[in-house]
A and B are shown apart, each in its own frame.
Chain A
Amino acid sequence: MEVLYASCVGVLVACGIYLILRARTFPVVLGLTMLSYAVNLFLFSSGRLTINKAAVLGTGSEYADPLPQALVLTAIVIGFAMTAFVVILAIRGRADLGNDHVDGHLVKSSKEQK
C-alpha cells in the first residue's frame, strides 16, 4: 500500500511540475492545482496510512493522527484561495495583454486562438 500511495504522490508531482512548465496560463493553473493535491497527500501521509481507525473520540480504541489532518484541512482551503487568485490573475493578464502567455509580454500573437 505504501508503495502505491508514494507512487500516486510521485505521479501527481511529476504531472503538476510538467504542467507548471507550460507556456500558457491555464495549464499552469491546472499544474498548481495538481501540485497542491500532491502536497496535501504528502502532508497527510506524515500521519501514516491508517485504515478504519477512529477519527472522533469515543468511537474506537485507536485513533488516526489528527494533527496532519488539521494542517491539511486548512491547506486545502488556502490552496483554493490561491488557485482562485492565480486564475483571476490569468484572466486579468489575458484581458490586459491580449494573450495568455505566462511571460506577460504585450504582444498579439498571430497564433492566438479563440
Chain B
Amino acid sequence: MTLLWIPLLSLIGSVISSCTSKLTRNQSTALTMLAPLIALGIVFSYTPAVFSGETIRYTAEWIPLLNMQVSFRLDGLTLLFLYMILGIGTLVIFYARYYLSSSDSMPKLYCYLMLFMTAMVGIVMSNNVIQLWFFWELTSISSFLLISYWWHKSEARKGARMALAITGAGGLALLAGLLLIGDIVGSYNLDVILASKALIQSHALYEAALVLVLLGAFTKSAQFPFHFWLPHAMAAPTPVSAYLHSATMVKAGIFLLARFYPALSGTDTWFILVAMTGLATLLVGAYIALFKHDLKGLLAYSTISHLGLITLLLGLDTELATVAAIFHIINHATFKASLFMATGIIDHETGTRDMRKLNGMWRFIPYTATLAMVAAAAMAGVPLLNGFLSKEMFFAETLHQQVLGSMSWLIPVLATIAGALSVAYSARFIHDVFFNGDPIDLPKQPHEPPRYMRVPIEILVVLCLLVGMFPHFAVSDILASASYAVLGDAAPDYKLSVWHGFNLPLLMSFIATSVGVMIYVQRKHLFHFQASLPTLNAKKGFERGLYSLIKWSQEKIKRIENGSLQRYAFVMIAVVLMCAGWPLFEMRQLAGASELTPIDFHNAIGAGLLIIGALATVIWHRSRMISLIMISIVGLMVSVAFTRFSAPDLALTQLTVEVVTVMLLMLALFFLPQRTPKESSSLRILRDLGISSAIGVVVASICYALLTRPLESISDFFVANAKTGGGGTNVVNVILVDFRGFDTLGEITVLGIAALGIYKLLINLPLFMPASDSEGRPWARERYPILLSSISQSLLPLALLVSAYIFLRGHNLPGGGFIAGLVTAIAFILQYMANGSHWIADRFDVNYRKIIASGIAIALFTGLGSWFFERPFLTTWFDYFDIPLVGKTELASAIVFDLGVYLTVVGATLMILASLGKLTADTPKQEVNI
C-alpha cells in the first residue's frame, strides 16, 4: 500500500501546487517540494530491501472482468530511476523558484512539473504494460505543456507540437508493440512478460513487436533519425530542459530498453537495431553539437549523443556493457542537469545564450563558472570525475563485443572519434564561455546569481566528484541492484575503481582527449567547412510536411463533407436502403406461415384516405398550408387505425398529439415562408422519387414479412402480472409506469430537455413577421374573436375535468399521464389562441420550466422512495382502501409517478407552444417584407 503513495503523492502535489497562486514564492516552492521529499523518504525506507534483491509489488483490482489491475513494482532499476526522478525533480523545483521571473506563473510550472513527475514515476513503477503505456503518454502530454510554457512564443508552440507529434507517434507504435507482446504471452503483467523470453523470441511476430517497441523507445529518447525534436524542445524554460530533456524524460526510452532487456534482448535483430541506432545517434549528436552557437543547443545535441552512447551500450552483446549503460544513465543525469542549470544562470544573468557574445565570464561569475567547468569536464570524461569512469567502461566494452562480426573493430574506432568530438564541444563550452577574451554587447551586466540558485548545481557537482573519486562507496550498491534487475543472475562481476592500470581503454581515452583538444584548437577550419555544406532545417521540413498533410486531409474532408444536408440525407438513406434491402433478396419467401385476414370495407376506406393524404402532402408540398392540411388527414387516419386494431391508448395519444402538432406547425408557418420555391431539377426529382420508392418498397416488404409470421411475444408475462404485480388492469399503462418505469423516466427527461432546448433557441430570436398572408391580404384586424374566447373559457373547466378523469382512470382503463397531460395542454393552448398570452399572463402566471422540473423530480423521487423500503429503484406499491362515499378504491404509488409524467408533458408542451406563440404577441406588428 505504501508503494501506491509514491505516484499518488506527486499527483497530489500537482493539484496542490496549482492552487498556490495566493502564496508567496517561497511558500509555494516549499509546499511543492514537500511531495517529492516525502516520496523520497518512502523510497529510502524500501532501499535496504531492494538492495537485498527483493522486488516489492503492490496490486489492486481495477476491472476484474477484464483481468485488469493497478499494479506497481519496485526493483533495483525502478529504485535507481526513482532516486533520479524524485531527487533531480526536487532540485529543479528549488532552482525554478529563482529562475522564473516575477511575470511567469509559478503555480502553472509547478503543477505541470509535478504532473510530469507523476507520469515518470508511473512509467518506472508500472508492473502492467498497459498501465506503463498510459503513463508514457502522460509524459508526452505533460512535456507538451511544459515546452509550451511560454505559450506566447511561436518557437515554444512549434517545438511543443513537434515533440508531441514525434513522441506521440512513437507512443502509438509502443502501444501496438505492447499489445503484440501481451498477445504472445497472454498477459499484460510485467512479471509474466519478463519471464517469457523464450516464448516471445520464438514467436513469429517477435520482430514486429520488437521494432514497434524500439520505435517507441527511440522517439522518446531522441535517437537518430527521430532526434530533431529535442533541440526544438529547448524552447522550454531551462529548469524544464534540465529535468525533462536531459535527466528524466528522454531517459524513459532508455528505461524501456532496460526494462524489456530480459525479454526482448539477446537476438541479432536486437543487437543490430539497437547498437547501430545508438552508434549513429552518438556520432551525429556529437558532431552537430560542436557547431551550435546556442548554449542550450550545444547541450541538446550533446544529450542526444550521450543518449546514443547509452543505447549503443544496451545493444552490445556483453553483460558488462549493460552495467556500463546503467552507470552512464546515472552519470549523465548528474552532469547534464547541472550543466543545464548553469546555462540557465548564465542566460538569466547575461540575457543571452549565444557563445559568440558570451566570452570571459570567468571574471564576472567565477563561482558558477567553476561549477560549470567541473560538470563540463565530467561530460568530456576527464579523470577523477564520474563521466570518465563510465566512458572507460564504454571504451572497454566496445573492444569486447562481436556485434558486427569481422567488422566489429569499427565500433571502438568510431567510439573514439565520438569521444574526441565530445571533448571538443566540452572544451568549447568551457573556453568560449568563460575565457576567450571579453564579452560582446551583452544585454545585461553579469554578476553572480542569488546564493541559493547555485545550491542544486553544487549538490549535483559534488555527486559528480564523489562518484568520480570514490565510485565503490558512492554507487556500487545501487548499480549492482539495478544491474540485477536487468540482467538477473547473469549480472557479471566487476570492480569500480578509478585506476585500472595502463590498458587499451586508457589509450583510447588519451587519444580521444588529445584529438578533441586538437579539433577545438583547429575549429575555424572545421567551421568553414561546415558552413559550406547545405543546411538542413529539420523544423522547416517538419512544418512543411505537417502543413501539406493537413491540407491534403482538408481537401479530402471537403470532398466528403461538403456541408449539404440534402447530400448527407441522401447518402444515409442510400446506405439504409442497401443494408435493409440486401437481406430481402436472400430470403426465400416473403410471406410467412400465418393466414391472411380479409380486407373489410372500413379498413379499405381508411387505408385509401391515408394513402391519398400522404400522396397529396407530397404533391402539394410547395403550398405549405395545403400540405399541412393533407398531413393532418394522415395523422387522423393513423389514430383511427390504432382504434381499429385494439389500441385505445395509442389512439387517444395520437389524436391529442396530432392536435398539438398541427397547431405548432401552423404557428411555425407564420414565421416561415408560405410557399416553397421550385428548386430541384427534374433529374434530382427523378433520383429522389427513385430512392424513396425503393425504400418504401423495402419497408413495406419487411412489414408484410413481419405481419405474416406467427407472433412470439414476451407480453404474456405482462398480461399475467399486470393485475397481481402492478395493481392495474390497463396493461399498457402498467407497463409504462411500473414494468418499464425506468424507460418512461428517461423519456420524460428527453421531453424536458427538448423543451428546454427550444426555450433556449427562442431567446433573442430576430423575427421575420409578415404583415400579410401569402396572397397579400392583411391579417384580420380582430386578433381575439369574442366568440372563440367566450366558448374557450367555458370549455376550460370541462376540459380540465376530462383530463383529471383520464388521468385517474389510467391505471385500469385507457388513459394515463401522457394523454391527460396532452389534453390539459390543449385546453390551455386554446386559451392562448383565444385570448392572447398577455391575457393569460395576467391571470395564470406560471413558469413552465418549473413545472417540467417538478414533474421529473416527482417521478424520480417516487422511484427513489422504494429504496426506503429496501426495494429496487422504481418498485411500486399498491393496496385497497375503503374510502367513504367512494367505496373500495385502489391506491398505488404508480399514480404519483404518473403525476410526474403528467406534469412534464403539460409543462413541455405548453412551454414549446406558449413561448413560440408569445413571440407573435410581444412584437408589435411591423412591416417586414422579405
| A21-B754 in contact (CB<8A) | no
Q: State whether A87 touches B621 (Cβ < 8 A).
A: no
B644 & A51 in contact (Cβ 8 Å cutoff):
yes
Min Cβ gap A82→B in Å is 7
Known: A70-B732, A90-B668. A10 touches B677 (CB 8 A): no
Which of A1, A17, A34, A54 is the most central at the interface, judged by chain B CB atoms within 10 Å of its CB? Answer: A17
Q: 1/0 per residue B811-847: CB within 8 Å of A? A: 0111000100010000000000000000000000000
Q: Is B649 an interface residue (CB 8 A)?
A: yes
Cβ of B634: which chain A residues have Cβ within 8 Å of it?
Answer: 12, 34, 37
Q: Does B610 contact A (CB under 8 A)?
A: yes
Residues 460-515 of B at the A interface (beta carbon under 8 Å): none
Check B731–A56 contact: CB distance below 8 A: yes
Q: Would A19 and B671 count as touching, CB distance under 8 A?
A: no
Of chain B, the residue at the smallest CB distance from A12 is B614
Please tell me if B699 contacts chain A, counting CB pairs below 8 Å.
yes
Of the residues A2, A55, A85, contact of B730 by C-beta under 8 Å? A55
* A residues in contact with B635, CB < 8 Å: 33, 37
Contact with B along A55-94 (1 / 0, CB 8 A): 1111000011111011011101111111111011111101
Residues of A within 8 A of B730 (CB): 55-57
B414 within 8 A of A: no
Closest to B627 in A: A30
- Interface 1/0 per residue, B595-613 and A, CB below 8 Å: 0111110011001001100
A74→B615 contact, CB < 8 A: no
B891 proximal to A (CB < 8 A): no
Q: A81-B750, A84-B664 are in contact. Are A113 and B700 (CB under 8 A)?
A: no
Q: Are A26 and B669 in contact, with the CB atoms below 8 A? A: yes
Q: Which of B84-92, B396-404, B764-772 contacts A (4 or more CB under 8 A)?
A: B764-772
Q: Answer whether A87 and B664 are a contact pair too, CB < 8 Å, given A64-B646, A74-B743.
A: yes
Q: Which residues 705-760 of B sit at the A interface, judged by CB distance below 8 A?
A: 706-708, 711, 713-715, 718-719, 722-723, 729-732, 735-736, 740, 743-744, 747, 750-751, 754-755, 757-758
Chain A nearest CB from B535 CB (Å) reads: 47
Residue of A50, A82, A88 with most partner-chain B CB within 10 A: A88
Residue on B nearest A18 in the bound complex, by CB:
B692
Please state if B692 and A69 are interface contacts (CB–CB under 8 Å): no
Q: Mark B322-337, 1 if CB is under 8 A from A, else 0.
A: 0000000000000000
Residue of A nearest to B628 (CB): A30
With known contacts A18-B692, A27-B627, A50–B650 Cβ distance under 8 A: no
Is the CB–CB distance between A4 and B627 below 8 Å? no
B410 CB to nearest A CB, Å: 66
B719 adjacent to A56 (CB under 8 Å): no
A10-22, CB under 8 A of B: which get 1 and which 0? 1111111111111
Contact of B599 among A1, A6, A25 (CB under 8 A): A1
**Range, interface on chain B:** 35 or more
**Cα separation A37 to B634 with both chains bound (whole Å):** 8
Q: Is the interface on chain A under 10, 10 to 19, 20 to 34, or 35 or more residues? A: 35 or more
Q: B905 on the interface (CB 8 Å rule)?
A: yes
Contact at A85–B638, with CB atoms within 8 Å? no
Q: Are A2 and B597 closer than 8 Å at their CB atoms? A: yes
| Cβ contacts under 8 Å, A82 to chain B | 754
Q: CB distance A51 to B661 under 8 Å?
A: no
Given A47-B711, A74-B747: A56 and B812 interface contact (C-beta under 8 Å): yes
Residues of B within 8 Å of A58, CB to CB, are: 729
Please state if A91 and B765 are interface contacts (CB–CB under 8 Å): yes
Task: Please determine whether A74 and B621 come into contact, CB atoms closer than 8 angstroms.
Answer: no
A68 to B: closest C-beta gap in Å: 8
Residues of A within 8 A of B729 (CB): 56-58
Nearest Cβ distance between residue A81 and chain B, in whole angstroms? 4
Interface residues of B in 28-63 (CB under 8 A from A): none
Q: Which of B564, B599, B617, B743 contacts A30 (CB 8 A)?
A: B617
In the complex formed, the residue of A with least CB distance to B710 is: A48
CB distance from A39 to the nearest CB of B (A): 9
* B-chain residues with CB within 8 Å of residue A74 when the two chains form the complex: 736, 743-744, 747, 818
Question: In the complex, what residue of chain B is closest to A63 when comparing beta carbons?
Answer: B719
Residues on A with C-beta less than 8 A from B718 are: 66-67
Taken together as a complex, chains A and B put the C-alpha atoms of A14 and B610 apart, in Å, by 13
Stretch binding the partner chain, chosen from B299-307, B565-573, B795-803: B565-573
> In whole angstroms, how far apart are the Cα atoms of A105 and B563 in the complex?
9
For residue B794, CB closer than 8 A to chain A, the reply is no
Of A47, A104, A114, the contact of B774 (CB 8 Å cutoff):
A114
Stretch at the interface among B146-154, B526-534, B652-660: B652-660
Q: B812 to chain A: which residues have CB within 8 Å? A: 56
When C-beta atoms are compared, the residue in chain A nearest to B696 turns out to be A14
Interchain CA distance A56-B722 in the complex, whole Å: 10
A89: B residues at CB distance < 8 A: 761
Contact residues of B: prevailing secondary structure: helix
**Is B762 in contact with chain A by the CB < 8 A criterion?**
yes
Across the interface, do B707 and A37 meet the contact criterion of CB distance under 8 Å?
no
**Are A113 and B675 in touch, CB under 8 angstroms?**
yes
- Residue B195, interface by CB 8 Å: no
Q: Once bound together, how far apart are the Cα atoms of A107 and B129, in whole Å? A: 55
- How far does the Cβ of B634 sit from chain A's closest Cβ, in whole Å? 6
User: What's the Cα separation between A87 and B758 when bound, in Å?
Assistant: 9
Q: How far is the CA of A97 from the CA of B777 in the complex (A)?
A: 26
Tell yes or no: B892 within 8 A of A by CB.
no
Q: Are A94 and B671 in contact (CB under 8 A)?
A: yes
Contact for B615 among A15, A22, A94, CB less than 8 A: A15
CB distance from B677 to the nearest CB of A (A): 5
**Contact A18–B677 (Cβ < 8 Å):** no
The reply to whether A22 and B621 contact each other, CB–CB distance below 8 Å, is yes
Which of A6, A38, A45 has the most chain B CB atoms closer than 10 A to its own CB? Answer: A6
A18 vs B694: C-alpha distance when bound (angstroms): 11
Q: Are B610 and A8 in contact (CB under 8 A)?
A: yes
Interface centre among B597, B614, B818 (most CB of A within 10 A): B614
CA distance A113 to B534 in the complex (A): 66
Answer whether residue B648 sits at the interface, using C-beta atoms and an 8 A cutoff.
yes
- State the CA gap A9–B754 with chains docked (Å): 27
- Asked if B680 is at the interface of the complex by the 8 Å CB criterion, the answer is yes
Q: Is B878 located at the chain interface by the 8 A CB criterion?
A: no
* Cβ–Cβ contact B696 & A11, under 8 A: yes
Give the residue of B614, B654, B711 whose beta carbon is less than 8 angstroms from that of A11: B614
Q: Which residues of B contact A48 (CB under 8 A)?
A: 594, 707, 711
Bound CA–CA A51/B352 (angstroms): 92
CA of A24 to CA of B638 in the docked complex: distance in angstroms? 26
Partner of B707, one of A45, A65, A80, A95: A45
**Does B701 touch A at the CB level, under 8 Å?**
yes
The answer to whether B758 and A84 touch across the interface, beta carbons within 8 angstroms, is: yes
Pairwise interchain contact A112-B673, C-beta atoms closer than 8 A: yes
A63 and B736 CA atoms in complex are apart in Å by 17
Docked complex Cα distance between A49 and B709 (Å): 11
B861 within 8 Å of A (CB atoms):
no
B689 interface residue per 8 A CB criterion: yes
> How far, in whole Å, are A52 and B547 apart by their CA atoms in the complex?
70
Contacts of B565 in A (CB 8 A): 102-104
**Of A45, A69, A91, which one neighbours B732 at CB under 8 angstroms?**
A69
**Could you give 10 example pairs across A and B, Cβ below 8 Å?**
A10-B696, A10-B697, A11-B615, A48-B707, A49-B597, A57-B723, A58-B729, A81-B750, A113-B673, A114-B673
Please provide the 3 A-B residue pairs with the shortest distance between their CB atoms, ordered closest to farther. Answer: A10-B700, A14-B696, A6-B704
B residues whose Cβ falls under 8 Å from a Cβ of A: 563-566, 569-570, 573, 594, 596-600, 603-604, 607, 610-611, 614-615, 617-618, 621-622, 624, 627-628, 631, 634-635, 638, 641-642, 644-650, 653-654, 657, 660-661, 664-665, 668-669, 671-677, 679-680, 688-689, 691-693, 695-697, 699-701, 703-704, 706-708, 711, 713-715, 718-719, 722-723, 729-732, 735-736, 740, 743-744, 747, 750-751, 754-755, 757-758, 761-762, 765-768, 770, 774, 812-814, 818, 822, 905, 908-909, 912, 916, 929-930
Given A47-B713, A63-B731, 17 new contacts (CB under 8 A): A1-B599, A3-B599, A11-B614, A13-B699, A27-B621, A29-B668, A42-B699, A44-B647, A51-B597, A56-B812, A67-B735, A78-B750, A80-B661, A84-B758, A88-B761, A92-B765, A114-B770
